Structure 1
Amino acid sequence: MGAYQLDKPNDRDSFFNWYTFVSNVCLIVSCTAIVYVVDNVSWAWGFGISSAANTLGLLLLFSSTRFYRQMKPQGSPFTGLGRVVVKAVKNRGILLSQNPGVYFQGPENNKIPTLPSKFFRFLNRAALKTERDLETNESTRKSGQLCTITEIEDLKDLIKIVPLFTSGLLVRVPYVIQVSLGILQALKMDRSLGPDFKVPAAIIVAFIHIHLYQRRFHRSNLISNLDMVVLALVEAKRLKISRMHNLQNEDNGAEVPMSIFWLVPPLALVGMGEAFHLPGLVSFYYQEFPDYLKNTSVGVVSLFYGIAFYIGNALIHVIHRSTDWLPENINKGRLDIVYCLITIIVGVNFCYFLLCGSLYKYKAAEIVEDGVSLSEE
């Protein structure tokens, strides 16, 4: 809804950056202030403050509705895409033609007939004019039983995005790993800040969400690799200190005399990687999705992150079941090897990402005022 209110590419980019900034400020507050309230006051107060904040947000949203640019309801955007596949299967026995006149044109192509692209040519059959289609009346045409070249090209645009979508999933895995395992590390480190205060272990997540706002996908991949390497080095040092003090033999694992703030540099690197990745990811999907799916494109980012969390947690489960690197007492484990393994996986994925990026052809790139297009990112 937010980006739909803006027309200029620069304004939309600013919106995506601010959207990311505000989202992560909220995450920092929840990982620090709310966690502190839960630990030191009560769970009821923690949930109460969160509920009050959500209620206030809803009131602000609904009170501003009359100022928004409203979209006219047009039915499900996925109906036409599904119809393209069904129609292409029905027309599978019909030969394709190089004559633009035998294809139903979209509303943008009424004046100048065009041919559908050669990518996924099988789908082009969905727009072929058959004798039965030519006999349909105007009401049937408006009801959406016919497919146009525009609908076919929209589906092809989505198919072309799939490889880049999959290549980005593993970029998010280091974040998932560190949210899950980083807190375990923090619990076994010295969290003292002064004589009477202990830093909550969950506060380390806040460092991940301190972002520098730029957009470069390839930098995000490189930083994801770098932060895993740094985390492996920090964990190797923590295990060395643990062995020096013979702490690995204690039943529940003792705190290692090593400051929790050793985790700040690698977690800050994760935050930088997120900063390069998230705003650019939202902008990329918003630009490359069909016009009637642009609002849906922002929701795809949430789907993207949800799948990445499942992958990350599944990876942790597999490592836990098949190796002794993640025991109950991580002072006995080899969390540093886990981080090295993730580094290798993300490195291989980076090569896959470069391949997908080199083969991907952008839609007509929007040239912003400073002369840089999104396709250059």
Structure 2
Amino acid sequence: MGADQFRSSRDQDTFFNWYFFFLYASFIIGDTAIVYLQDGVSWVLGFGVCLATTVASLVMLLIGVRYYRMPAAKGSPYTELARVVVAAVRKARVDVDALGRVQYYVGDGAVADADTDEAPSKRLRFLNRAAMITASDRSTDASGGRRSSGWHLCTVQQVEDLKSLLGVLPLWSSSILISVTIGVMIGLAILQALAMDRSLGPRFKIPAGSITVVMVAAFIAVTPVFEHAVFPLWRRATGALPTPLQRVGLGHVVNVAGMVAAALVERRRLSVVRSHPGKKISPIIKTINPIILFTG
């Protein structure tokens, strides 16, 4: 995404904030101007504008190629993770007690004892076997070196990388669930908008596809506020900035509140439709917009 162009973690955090700022700003243009062109003028013109902007962005990307930092490739990370699993499975039946002094491979011929800081962490201990040095991991040559194949012996860092990835899976899975509910809510909001009064003055009617612009606008408005007001106050009160996990958790709580509000609005809308068939529901600004605002 471009964050690897910055060395400082603070610069990377700022990059991600502004990355999503401009991403959502482009969503606003797409949900308003492009939707208006396709809905009120011409589908051909709308798709033509999309094609032109895509070509322009590609040209801008290529212009800056010579200024980008391009670290040399060090192999596929997926291969490294697979090596840890294979090496750990191969040593599943190794009797640790029979080894006596347990040592782990750190890399470049260096080893670490089990009771040192360089040893693997205690979580998911089965994977530690991938870095554990056994008799079969020692070569028969006079130098006493280790096997060069990573499918037999991995470094402690490779083992810890796989553990970190597995530790993120629960958080990643929760994001899938919340993304599904948000997608359903946005799709439902557009269908609700088609049955509501979308008039904005005597001559203009809001396109149903533009209703999601409220969510995008909310994100754009809130990002600078959190960056320059909320987070500094949080740091003064607690002595530290909120962790990424705390931020994700707070976002999930707000999204749950938005889903509850959406359910209440849909219940009210259905009751009005059943009692007054064919009648336009109350103005969209009073009902759907606050719900989508929560999601943003």
TM-score surpassing 0.5?
A: yes
Q: Does the Cα contact within 8 Å between 1:187 and 1:255 map onto a contact in 2?
A: no
The aligned counterpart of 2:163 is 156
The aligned counterpart of 1:221 is 252
| Alignment equivalent of 1:125, drawn from 129, 137, 154 | 129
2:265 paired with 1:234: yes
**Partner AA of 1:221 in structure 2:** H
The aligned counterpart of 1:35 is 35
**Partner AA of 2:254 in structure 1:** I
% of aligned pairs identical? 40
Relative distance call for 1:66 and 1:241 in structure 2 (3 A) is same
Relative distance call for 1:100 and 1:130 in structure 2 (3 A) is closer
Structure-2 separation of matches of 1:84 and 1:153: 10
2:107 paired with 1:106: yes
Alignment of 1:280-291 (within 5 A): none
The aligned counterpart of 1:353 is none
- Count matched residues: 263
SS for the counterpart of 2:282 is strand
Alignment of 1:1-377 (within 5 A): 1-96=1-96, 102-106=103-107, 110=110, 114-135=118-139, 144-145=150-151, 146-210=153-217, 211=219, 212-213=222-223, 214=226, 216-245=247-276, 247=277, 254=278, 256-261=280-285, 262-271=287-296
Shift of 1:176: 0.9
Relative distance call for 1:100 and 1:127 in structure 2 (3 A) is farther
**Partner AA of 1:102 in structure 2:** Q
- Deviation string 1:207-233 (CA, Å, 9 cap, x unpaired) is 121211247222212211211222233
Shift of 1:260: 1.5
Shift of 1:128: 2.3
Relative distance call for 1:141 and 1:2 in structure 2 (3 A) is farther
Structure-1 separation of matches of 2:57 and 2:161: 35
Q: Does the Cα contact within 8 Å between 1:100 and 1:115 map onto a contact in 2?
A: no
Structure-1 separation of matches of 2:5 and 2:51: 28
Relative distance call for 1:67 and 1:100 in structure 2 (3 A) is farther
Q: Does the Cα contact within 8 Å between 1:189 and 1:256 map onto a contact in 2?
A: yes
Relative distance call for 1:27 and 1:49 in structure 2 (3 A) is same
Shift of 1:89: 1.1
SS for the counterpart of 1:258 is strand
Structure-2 separation of matches of 1:43 and 1:264: 26
Q: Which moved more, 1:51-60 or 1:4-13?
A: 4-13
Shift of 1:258: 1.3
Structure-2 separation of matches of 1:235 and 1:194: 25
Q: Does the Cα contact within 8 Å between 2:215 and 2:293 map onto a contact in 1?
A: yes
Relative distance call for 1:89 and 1:51 in structure 2 (3 A) is same
Structure-2 separation of matches of 1:136 and 1:268: 67
Shift of 1:170: 2.4
Unaligned runs of 5+ in 1: 248-253, 272-377
- Deviation string 1:192-214 (CA, Å, 9 cap, x unpaired) is 12222221001111112121124
**Partner AA of 1:59 in structure 2:** V
TM-score, normalised to structure 2, is 0.80
SS for the counterpart of 1:177 is helix
TM-score, normalised to structure 1, is 0.64
The aligned counterpart of 1:359 is none
Shift of 1:99: 7.2
Q: Does the Cα contact within 8 Å between 2:258 and 2:295 map onto a contact in 1?
A: yes
Shift of 1:27: 1.3
Q: Does the Cα contact within 8 Å between 1:188 and 1:256 map onto a contact in 2?
A: yes
SS for the counterpart of 1:209 is helix
Q: Does the Cα contact within 8 Å between 1:96 and 1:124 map onto a contact in 2?
A: no
SS for the counterpart of 1:103 is strand
Q: Does the Cα contact within 8 Å between 1:35 and 1:46 map onto a contact in 2?
A: yes
Shift of 1:142: 5.3
**Partner AA of 1:158 in structure 2:** L
Relative distance call for 1:115 and 1:33 in structure 2 (3 A) is same
Q: Which has the larger radius of gyration?
A: 2
SS for the counterpart of 1:105 is strand
Relative distance call for 1:101 and 1:95 in structure 2 (3 A) is closer
Unaligned runs of 5+ in 2: 227-243
Shift of 1:58: 0.9
Q: Does the Cα contact within 8 Å between 2:258 and 2:291 map onto a contact in 1?
A: yes
SS for the counterpart of 1:69 is coil
Q: Does the Cα contact within 8 Å between 1:238 and 1:256 map onto a contact in 2?
A: no
